[in-house]
């Protein structure tokens, strides 16, 4: 009985596919980048601060890329831009009749977007910015310098979405190689190794990500309770929002350095459709050559100071990260005194 009903559903989906537009779309965005400093030792009379390092090989990198392919029309295109400075405002974009890809680094973060909206089309877009690097005359942990006895919380808002507009494909009954797919992801990462001041030292590598996937590819899964295979369709629409957060703890009496990067990426492929929709392209903020000198105080109390572009007050989860950092600092200090 299940097979009969399933054959009927597949037949209906095939009929529907002949008139429905099938396309893949995805967007990844990082925004509202902020930097919050906490003084771990107010008694040392050192004001908490951080800076982007400059000089040969120490600054970082900014890169954007976009590529599209329309095999049915024998068309393709690509654009990319890469520079050895951190967080410069720049964009790369390519638009065909049936495929679109764009990426941008701007004053608040990064964005990547793409559409596959034609027979046998695909797209790929990525945007990344990094403070620090391991290229010419550079330490791999050379992008940000943090003052002594300071905790730095780096935060950004993340948004990812992926969607397809096509009938689900069941591999049990159909050949599903030609299925629409879309993915998007945003992420931040930070690495540091504290130089020992004779009492304290430490290291850490942290990352924070958010991703979304949509696919017309379904599958049959055996249900032991019924004794039948049940069809599980692919997810056609996925949207997620949240914040990305990193912690850089310097519990030494010396300034320390760290490497920071942010990324946004989107990719997908489609096998039918009738052209891109420019109304779905996300708006891009920017218009300045560099954000390195654009940070300003947006919130402060006797306990912390936040630099960024929008008013921001630490949320409960940010406080939780801060408290974990403080607990780690306290534990490291106790170990240092015990060994001393």
- CA-CA distances (angstroms) from residue 263 to 67, 125, 187, 222, 234? 17, 11, 5, 39, 26
Whole-angstrom distance, CA of residue 29 vs CA of residue 184: 9
Closest by Cα among 136, 141, 143 to 54 = 143
User: What angle (nearest 5°) sits at the alpha carbon of residue 177, between those of residues 173 and 178?
Assistant: 105
pLDDT at 15: 34
CB-CB contact of 259 with 207 (8 Å): no
Query: What's the sign of the alpha-carbon dihedral 305, 308, 310, 314?
Result: negative
pLDDT at 4: 36
Q: What would the mean pLDDT of 56-72 be, rounded to a whole number?
A: 86
Chain position carrying tokens 């509202």: 32
Q: What is the mean pLDDT of the chain?
A: 77
Check whether 273 has a pLDDT greater than 90. no
CB-CB contact of 60 with 189 (8 Å): no
Check whether 80 has a pLDDT greater than 90. yes
pLDDT at 229: 77
Whole-angstrom distance, CA of residue 66 vs CA of residue 309: 27
Helix (H) or strand (E) holding 35: strand 24-39
Model confidence at 135, pLDDT cuts 50, 70, 90, reads: very low
CB-CB contact of 111 with 30 (8 Å): yes
Question: What DSSP string runs through 66-91?
Answer: EEEEETTTTEEEEEEEEESSTTB-EE
Closest by Cα among 283, 299, 268, 320 to 34 = 299
Where on the phi/psi map is residue 86: left (φ > 0), alpha (ψ -120 to 50), or beta? Answer: beta
Whole-angstrom distance, CA of residue 203 vs CA of residue 247: 11
150 forms beta bridges with 39, 250
- Which residues have a Cβ under 8 Å from the Cβ of 124 and sit 6 or more positions away? 65, 66, 67, 68, 101, 114, 265, 266, 267
- Which residues have a Cβ under 8 Å from the Cβ of 55 and sit 6 or more positions away? none
Q: What would the mean pLDDT of 168-183 be, rounded to a whole number?
A: 69
Q: Give 216 or 46, the one with higher predicted confidence.
A: 46
Whole-angstrom distance, CA of residue 109 vs CA of residue 210: 15
Model confidence at 282, pLDDT cuts 50, 70, 90, reads: confident
Q: What residue ranges do the domains of the chain occupy?
A: 21-339
Query: 325-334: which pairs have CB atoms within 8 A and are 24 or more residues apart?
Result: 325/38, 325/151, 325/153, 325/247, 325/249, 326/38, 326/40, 326/151, 328/202, 328/249, 329/40, 329/151, 329/249, 329/251, 332/200, 332/202, 332/251, 333/200, 333/251
Percent of residues, the chain, with pLDDT higher than 70: 69
Q: What would the mean pLDDT of 107-118 be, rounded to a whole number?
A: 88
**Per-residue pLDDT tens digits for 217-228:** 766 778 888 888
pLDDT at 313: 42
Where on the phi/psi map is residue 320: left (φ > 0), alpha (ψ -120 to 50), or beta? Answer: alpha
Check whether 271 has a pLDDT greater than 50. yes
Q: Give 91 or 136, the one with higher predicted confidence.
A: 91
3-class secondary-structure state, position 334: helix
Q: What would the mean pLDDT of 55-79 be, rounded to a whole number?
A: 87
């Amino acid at each position: 009985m299940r097979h009969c009903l399933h054959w009927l559903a597949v037949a209906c989906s095939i009929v529907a596919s002949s008139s429905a537009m099938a396309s893949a779309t995805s967007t990844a965005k990082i925004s509202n980048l902020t930097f919050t400093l906490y003084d771990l030792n107010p008694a040392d009379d050192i004001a908490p601060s951080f800076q982007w390092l400059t000089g040969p090989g120490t600054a970082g990198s900014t890169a954007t890329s976009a590529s599209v392919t329309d095999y049915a029309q024998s068309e393709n295109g690509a654009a990319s831009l890469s520079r050895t400075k951190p967080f410069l405002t720049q964009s790369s974009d390519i638009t065909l009749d049936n495929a679109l890809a764009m990426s941008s680094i701007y004053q608040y973060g990064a964005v990547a977007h793409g559409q596959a909206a034609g027979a046998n089309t695909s797209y790929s877009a990525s945007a990344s910015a990094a403070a620090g690097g391991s290229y010419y005359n550079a330490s791999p942990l050379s992008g940000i310098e943090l003052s002594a006895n300071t905790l730095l919380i780096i935060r950004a808002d993340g948004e990812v979405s992926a969607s397809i507009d096509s009938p689900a494909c069941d591999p049990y009954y159909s050949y599903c190689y030609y299925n629409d797919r879309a993915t998007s992801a945003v992420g931040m990462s930070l690495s540091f190794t504290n130089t020992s001041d004779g009492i304290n030292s430490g290291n850490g590598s942290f990352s924070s990500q958010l991703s979304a996937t949509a696919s017309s590819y379904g599958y049959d899964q055996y249900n032991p309770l019924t004794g039948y295979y049940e069809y599980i369709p692919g997810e056609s629409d996925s949207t997620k929002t949240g914040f990305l957060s990193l912690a850089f703890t310097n519990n030494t009496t010396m300034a320390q350095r760290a490497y920071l990067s942010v990324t946004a990426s989107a990719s997908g492929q489609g096998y039918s459709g009738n052209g891109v929709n420019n109304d779905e392209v996300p708006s891009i903020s920017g218009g300045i050559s560099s954000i390195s000198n654009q940070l300003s105080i947006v919130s402060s109390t006797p306990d912390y100071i936040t630099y960024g572009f929008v008013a921001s007050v630490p949320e409960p989860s940010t406080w939780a990260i801060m408290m974990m950092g403080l607990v780690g600092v306290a534990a490291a200090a106790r170990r240092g005194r015990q060994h001393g």
